[in-house]
Amino acid sequence: MAQRELLSGLPVDWQKLKTMYYYMVLSRKLDERMWILNRQGKASFVISCQGQEGAQVGVALAMDPSVDWITPYYRDLAVVLVFGMTPREVMLGFLAKRDDPSSGGRQMPAHYGHRAKHIMTGSSPVTTQVAHAAGLALTMKLRGLPGIAASFLGEGSTSQGEFHESLNFAAVHKLPLIVVVENNGYAISVPQIHQMAVVNVADKASGYGIPGVVVQGSDPLAVYEATMAARERALRGEGPTLIEAKTYRYTPHSSDDDDKTYRSRGELMREKADDPIVVFRNWLMTQKQWDDQQENTLLKKVREVVDDATDYAEQAPYPDPSTLMDHVYYSPRA
Amino acid sequence: MAVMSYLEAIRETLRQELRRDSRIIIYGEDVGVRGGVFRVTEGLQKEFGEDRVIDSPLAEAAIVGTAIGAAINGLRPIPEIQFADFIFPAINQIVEEAARIRYRSNGEFGVPLVIRAPFGGGVHGALYHSQSVEAFFAHVPGLKVVIPGTPYDAKGLLASAVEDEDPVLYFEHKAAYRSLKGEVPEERYLIPIGKADLKRSGKDVSIITYGLMVSYALKAAETLEKEGISVEILDLRSIRPLDVEMILDTARKTGKVLVVHEDNLTGGVGGEISALIAEHALFDLDAPIRRLAGPDVPAMPYSPPLEHAFMITSDKITEAARDLAKF
């Protein structure tokens, strides 16, 4: 990560940076726990955020969950945690339990949604959520509501028509929208070079007459800075911004994938040298803002949170089979 | 009471709804300045402004996808798909998103959305301006599908669709726009979605149909009456949900059922209706159920003789009903 002498110009203080670090570590540890539970046979599916936490906290902490809305994608564990979804809630969804706020155990894990926390429910067909974010932003504009919408997706999703349609729509109507592409280099097995003929996804922004910004995902502060600027632009009524965060995925696409079939261990090792959590921790330490004792305290706290979430969700009830037919259509709640 | 065309009834209902509820927005291709290619939204942008009647880019997935987001955030969007034939780029948003959002979020999110689309043939529209697409959507739990057959029903069904908390597809037959006229009350009224309507009472044959075919069936019934054949006509009005009770009632009453729709025969709504009757009222029947539907060709051809050969007409309905009555 680039050396930063000052934090001037940005509304951040060291406490906020430590919060960033907390959410990065919490996300990683929660994610790692999910893999363990999967390998123990307690959960049939995992899809990971590992490697992308820097980009995710950088964007999410630059937003205001009290007025902003997000349409995340399935890797956005750190984003939804920052927006207020609790580790217990995440684990309820992961283990398909009744009280999972995203779906009551109906969806696969990581298909987040939480109305009260302004997290729009998502599906598996990719990129539909970008149009939803544009629609959320359209309401904000037409109703004069405070806030913006942000949509998250991978670089593979930028090949979909809805990426183009939604950005174009949002640009024409100058909607308060940020589209965040977490470019981790692969759409399952297909590398970026087979996905698009541009080096930077952000270059596509010029086709819509909007700014496209490239940031290093391992540098949450740079992501934060870019998001702040995009958010201010959106709030000024100047329209959307496309942010591309260069990241890397440390896990296979999902627990059902074997990434050894399409990428080398050497490449993975090289990329892990830029682990956002390690880089950020080292930087905090060189800035004399972090030390081993604080690290150990944090890890202990995170461990407790993850243990608690796991225990809570494991003991939680499954949905009752009699609810299978519920919520096909609206019915007034009892 | 004012006499209105089917099209005017839709336009005046949109106007009334826009006045009633400030959360309603209309958008789609050419709906603003031009007032829609069929002029359904004519004058609405002038009255309600560019923030409520919005010309959108030519992109159906974005039209529906943004409408979903807007609905989630508190608006009541009524997007228009210019022709039902062009709805397919949006089918991902309609089927995978709008239809499934309430279910997949365990009731947390709902999508109050009315998607209007002109459909149907007989207007020299050829393959891509003539299609009937309702069966695709009638298959999907989470969606509602309504198709009015009269100006009166057009108003009451549209008002109900706008009030509905779930996504409703509202299909308008293009050939009905100016050919169907009828009395439409000024005041607002609701026709419940899922309720069929007995358009004509009879005792020999039941015709179960919807949309433009209702008027064709009524004409056929008049012809057959002169021949001494008494025809009952059930207008479904909603094809999802279906009014199962009224379908079974008419089947049991006459014992002879002709199902008519312009949509292709195979996999069409008629198959579902026939199955319902076969399951629940088989022993009340006096003849096999008969379906009269669009032929199983990919879409409607342009050349007049071919188009005519495709279309269901009053004459074809008369003939089929006569045959059935004689069984």
Q: Rounded CA gap, A250 and A229, in Å? A: 29
Question: In chain A, what residues touch B61 (CB-CB under 8 Å)?
Answer: 131, 161-162, 165
The DSSP bridge partners found for residue A205 are none
Order of strands, sheet of A212-216, starting from the edge strand that comes earlier in the sequence: A69-71, A149-154, A177-183, A241-246, A212-216
Q: How far apart are CA A179 and CA A195, in angstroms?
A: 18
What is chain B's mean pLDDT, rounded?
98
Give me the residues paired with residue B207 across strands: B233, B258
Higher-pLDDT residue of B87 and A13 is B87
Is the pLDDT at A118 greater than 50, yes or no?
Answer: yes
CA distance linking residue B258 with residue B208, whole number of Å: 6
Distances (CA, A) of A10 to A222, A223, A229, B93, B147: 10, 12, 10, 38, 56
Selected residue of B29, B108, B144 to mutate for chain A interface (largest A Cβ count, 10 A): B108
The domain in which residue A280 lies consists of 14-320
Neighboring chain B residues of A329 at a CB cutoff of 8 Å = 102, 142, 144, 165-166
pLDDT digits (tens, 9 = 90+) for B41-51: 999 999 999 99
Element holding A246 (H helix, E strand): strand A241-246
Using a CB-CB cut-off of 8 Å, the residues of chain B touching A100 are: 106
Closest by Cβ to B61, choosing from A102, A133, A165: A165
What number is the average pLDDT over the span A164-190? 98
My answer on whether B179 and B93 are in the same domain is yes
Q: What is the pLDDT of residue A131?
A: 98
- Is residue A258 a part of any domain in this protein? yes
pLDDT of res. A13: 87
pLDDT surpasses 60 at A50 = yes
Same-domain pairing of B88 and B129? yes
pLDDT category of residue B230 using cuts at 50, 70 and 90? very high
Question: Is residue A326 situated within a structural domain?
Answer: no
User: Which pairing describes strands A241-246 and B24-28: parallel, antiparallel, or unpaired?
Assistant: unpaired
A262 is catalytic: yes
Is A224 a catalytic site residue? Answer: no
pLDDT, position A6: 45
Q: Which of B184, B206, B234 is the last residue of a domain?
A: B184
At residue A12, the pLDDT reads 79
Q: Do both B67 and B142 map to the same domain?
A: yes
Does residue B312 fall inside a structural domain? yes
Q: According to the model, what pLDDT value does residue A1 have?
A: 42
Torsion (CA) A255, A257, A259, A260 in degrees, nearest 10: 100
Three-state DSSP state, B54? strand
Closest-CA residue in chain B for A126?
B92
A23 is catalytic: no
- Report how far residue B144's alpha carbon sits from residue B128's, in angstroms, rounded to the nearest whole number: 24
* ipTM, 2 dp: 0.95
> Is residue B162 located within the same domain as residue B221?
no
Do B237 and B103 fall within a single domain?
Answer: no
pLDDT (0 to 100) of residue A7: 55
Report the alpha-carbon distance of residue A139 to residue B83 in Å, rounded.
25
Instruction: Provide mean pLDDT across the span B208-223.
Output: 98
The amino acid at residue B307 is E
Per-chain mean pLDDT for chain A: 95
Q: Are residues B179 and B220 in the same domain?
A: no
Please tell me which residue in A33, A249, A281, A312 is annotated as part of the active site.
A249
- Backbone torsions φ then ψ of A142, nearest 5 degrees: -70, -30
Tell whether B189 is covered by a domain: no
Cα maximum dimension of chain B? 59
CB contact under 8 A, A139 and B93: no
Q: Please give, rounded to a whole number of angstroms, the shortest distance from the CA of A155 to a CA of chain B.
A: 19
Q: Residue A315: CB partners within 8 Å, gap ≥ 6?
A: none
Q: Is residue A172 part of a domain?
A: yes
Residue where the block lists tokens 């050396």? A3
Residue A333 falls within a domain, yes or no?
Answer: no
Q: Is residue A1 part of a domain?
A: no
| Tokens read off for B34 | 């031009």
* Sign of torsion over alpha carbons A172, A149, B111, A324: positive
* Single residue among B184, B205, B229 that ends a domain in this structure: B184
Per-residue pLDDT tens for B123-148? 999 999 999 999 999 999 999 999 99
Task: State whether B62 and A166 contact (CB < 8 Å).
Answer: yes
Task: Say if A6 falls within a structural domain.
Answer: no
Chain A contact set for B70 (CB, 8 A):
135-136, 138-139, 142
* Residue B62 near residue A164 (C-beta atoms within 8 A): no
B19 closest CA partner among B192, B189, B188: B188
**Residue B95 counted as domain residue:** yes
- Contact (CB<8Å) B97/A128: yes
Task: Flag whether B192 is in a domain.
Answer: no
Structure tokens at A141: 């504009």
Q: What is the dihedral of CA B267, B273, B279, B282, to 10 degrees?
A: -120
DSSP line for A92-161: HHHTT-TT-TTTTT-SPTT---BGGGTB----SSTTHHHHHHHHHHHHHHHHT-S--EEEEEESGGGGSH
CATH number at residue A255: 3.40.50.970
CA trace torsion A276, A133, A112, A90 (10° rounding): 50
Could you say which DSSP state residue B300 is in? -
Rounded to an integer, the average pLDDT of A203-211 is 98
Which alpha helices (DSSP H) does chain A contain, by range?
14-39, 53-60, 77-82, 87-94, 128-143, 161-172, 220-235, 265-272, 276-286, 292-315
Same-domain check for residues B254 and B177: no
B190 found inside a domain? no
Catalytic residue among A114, A231, A253, A281: A253
CA distance A308 to chain B (A): 25
Cα-atom radius of gyration of chain B, to the nearest Å? 19
* Residue in A closest to B70 by C-alpha: A135
Q: How far apart are CA A314 and CA A318, in angstroms?
A: 10
If asked whether residues B208 and B81 sit together in one domain, one would say: no
Residue B160 sits in the same domain as residue B221: no
A215 domain-assigned: yes
- CB of A220 within 8 A of CB of A51? no
- Of the three residues B184, B217, B243, the one that is the final residue of a domain is B184
Confidence grade of residue A332 (pLDDT, cut at 50, 70, 90)? confident
Q: What is the pLDDT of residues A273-296, one digit of tens each?
A: 999 999 999 999 999 999 999 999
A63-102 pLDDT per residue, tens? 999 999 999 999 999 999 999 999 999 999 999 999 999 9
Chain A residues in contact with B99 by the CB 8 A cut-off are none
Residue A330 lies in a domain: no
Q: Do the bridges between strand A190-191 and strand A186-187 make them parallel or antiparallel, or are there none, so unpaired? A: antiparallel
Nearest to B106 among A130, A131, A327 (CB): A327
- Report pLDDT for A4: 47
Q: CB-based contacts of B209: which residues, under 8 Å, 6+ apart? A: B149, B217, B233, B234, B235, B236, B259, B260, B261
Residues B139 and B20 in one domain: yes
The one-character DSSP state at B36 is -
What burial class does residue A4 get, using C-beta atoms within 10 Å of its C-beta: 0-12 exposed, 13-18 middle, 19+ buried? middle
pLDDT at B90 over 60: yes
- Integer Cα distance of B256 and B246 in angstroms: 14
Using 50, 70 and 90 to split pLDDT, how confident is the model at A3?
very low
Contact B69 A135 (CB under 8 A): yes
Q: How far apart are CA B27 and CA A141, in angstroms?
A: 15
Torsion of CA A96, A101, A102, A104, to 10 degrees: 40
Q: Which residues of chain A have a CB within 8 Å of the CB of B66?
A: 131-132, 134-135, 138, 166, 169
Full residue range of the structural domain in which residue B251 is found: 197-326
Residue of B nearest to A118 (CA): B73
Q: What is the pLDDT of residue A100?
A: 98
Whole-number CA gyration radius for chain A: 19
Instruction: With a cut of 80, say whether residue A8 has pLDDT above it.
Output: no
Contact assignment for A132 to B65 by CB distance below 8 Å: yes
Indicate whether B23 and B151 sit together in one domain. Answer: yes
How many helices and strands (H and E) does chain B possess?
A: 13, 14
Scanning every residue of chain A, which has its alpha carbon at the shortest distance from the alpha carbon of B109? Answer: A115
Mean of pLDDT values over A325-329: 97
CA-CA distance, A275 to A290, in Å (whole number)?
17
pLDDT at B294 over 80: yes
- pLDDT surpassing 70 at residue A156: yes
For position B67, which CATH number holds?
A: 3.40.50.970
Which chain A residues contact residue B54 at CB under 8 A? 173
Same domain, yes or no, for B27 and B158?
yes
The distance of A297 to chain B (nearest Cα, Å) reads: 37
> Residue B315's domain is classified under what CATH number?
3.40.50.920
User: In 10 A of CB B203, how many CB atoms?
Assistant: 13
Domain total of chain A:
1
- Nearest Cα neighbor of B231 from B217, B246, B244 is B217
E strands in chain B:
2-5, 24-28, 53-55, 76-80, 114-119, 144-146, 168-173, 181-184, 197-200, 205-209, 231-235, 238-240, 257-264, 290-294
